[in-house]
């Protein structure tokens, strides 16, 4: 079954599918290994990891697409791309939707912010007209219908912070009518507002809980309760990059403070080298070397070390 089909089915079940955000191929692989069914590329995560900058529209579309390719190829679960405002007008949006479909993404976010956009939980947001966003969604839906009818277009509105819930619900319904498969009210605050949105929007609704710890602007509601409310998807977009930031900061702070400059025996800080190389697939590449490289080259490379190929030793 295609990954887009798997993702669409899960969303249509409206069971609050949890889709954590990743910021690179490694974080996507970690999320997959922990048992999550799908992964969402985090725009903030890309900006922070790629540039060391905030999510204020600084990452170029070419870089977004290149990073998306790496992530899609790294995992076997569905990946939702983050195309921000689509890369321009409706024509640019259609082109970029085509590219992420062809690279194997299962879905993509499109948002109605004015470019340069910013993280949905930041102040200072502006939105384009509803008519302009409808055009972007129609263009994206036309490409979806041609290339992969199950590809999920997630139309995000940021109007909630500017004009309130009623305006957000109206935009969501118009985006669904234009061809979106899923709609997303960014920064929605309360359980009451989520309940109202679910009841008045005539299609699946996505919300985000940002880091799953503080909730930030959105009330932190347990996932089973969101499922009961009828929410279709719950993204947790920035947890991975924030966890990585804290872990790196705490480790290198401890390392710098150590009188010896090392941390002998403090294994709680790191995976073992073998654990990590196994996780990123080194053994598979070693097996490929044994299968395809000349025996003499292997002998020189590994100084006679015996390799394991499908359970058997080979010199």
Dihedral (CA of 65, 204, 187, 239) sign:
negative
Q: How confident is the model at residue 313 (pLDDT cuts 50, 70, 90)?
A: very low
Q: pLDDT tens across 239-294, in order?
A: 999 999 999 999 999 999 999 999 999 999 999 999 999 999 999 999 999 999 99
* Sequence-distant (≥ 6) Cβ neighbours of residue 207 within 8 angstroms: 184, 185, 188, 194, 218, 226, 231, 233, 234, 235
Average pLDDT, the chain: 94
Predicted pLDDT at 2 = 96
**How much is the pLDDT for 116?**
83
**Tens-place pLDDT, residues 153-189:** 999 999 999 999 999 999 999 999 999 999 999 999 9
By three-state DSSP, how is residue 262 classified? Answer: coil
* 1-40 pLDDT per residue, tens: 999 999 999 999 999 999 999 999 999 999 999 999 999 9
Cβ burial 65-100 (10 Å sphere, 16+ → b, else e): bebbbebbebbebbbbbbbbbbbeebebbbebbebb
Percentage, residues of the chain above pLDDT 90: 86
pTM of the predicted model as reported, rounded to 2 decimal places: 0.92
Maximal CA-CA distance, the chain: 71
Residue pair 20/36 in contact (Cβ under 8 Å)? The answer is: yes
Indicate the range of 50-54, 208-212, 243-247 predicted with least confidence: 208-212
CA 86 from chain centre, in angstroms, equals 16
Q: With cut-offs at 50, 70 and 90, classify the pLDDT of residue 117.
A: confident
pLDDT of residue 304: 60
Domains of the chain with CATH codes? 3-240 (3.20.20.60), 266-315 (no CATH)
The C-alpha angle 216, 221, 224, rounded to 5 degrees, equals 145
Work out the percent of the chain whose per-residue pLDDT is above 70: 96
| Phi, psi of 66, deg, nearest 5 | -60, -45
* Backbone dihedral region for residue 161 (phi beyond 0: left; psi -120 to 50: alpha; all else: beta): alpha
**pLDDT value of residue 306:** 55
């Amino acid at each position: 079954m295609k990954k887009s089909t798997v993702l669409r089915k899960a969303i249509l079940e409206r069971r609050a599918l949890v889709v954590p955000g990743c910021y690179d191929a490694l974080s996507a692989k970690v999320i997959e290994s922990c048992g999550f069914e799908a992964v969402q590329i985090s725009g903030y995560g890309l900006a922070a990891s790629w540039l060391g900058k905030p999510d204020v529209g600084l990452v170029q579309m070419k870089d977004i697409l290149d990073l998306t390719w790496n992530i899609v190829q790294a995992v076997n679960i569905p990946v939702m791309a983050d195309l921000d405002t689509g890369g321009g007008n409706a024509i640019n949006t259609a082109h970029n939707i085509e590219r992420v479909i062809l690279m194997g993404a299962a879905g993509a976010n499109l948002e109605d912010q004015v470019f340069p956009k910013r993280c949905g939980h930041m102040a200072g947001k502006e939105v384009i007209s509803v008519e302009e966003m409808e055009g972007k969604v129609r263009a994206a839906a036309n490409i979806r219908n041609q290339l992969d009818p199950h590809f999920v277009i997630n139309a995000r509105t940021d109007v909630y912070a500017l004009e309130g819930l009623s305006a957000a619900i109206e935009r969501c319904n118009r985006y669904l009518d234009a061809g979106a498969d899923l709609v997303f009210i960014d920064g929605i605050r309360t359980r009451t507002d989520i309940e109202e949105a679910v009841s008045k929007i005539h299609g699946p609704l996505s919300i985000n809980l940002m880091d799953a710890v503080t909730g930030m602007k959105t009330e932190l509601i347990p996932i089973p309760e969101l499922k009961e409310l009828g929410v279709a998807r719950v993204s947790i977009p920035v947890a991975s990059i924030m966890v990585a930031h804290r872990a790196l900061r705490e480790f290198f702070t401890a390392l710098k403070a150590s009188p010896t400059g090392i941390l002998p025996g403090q294994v709680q800080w790191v995976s073992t080298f073998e654990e990590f190389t196994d996780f990123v697939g080194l053994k598979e590449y070693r097996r490929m070397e044994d299968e395809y490289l000349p025996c003499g080259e292997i002998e020189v490379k590994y100084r006679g070390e015996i390799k394991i190929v499908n359970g058997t030793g080979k010199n």
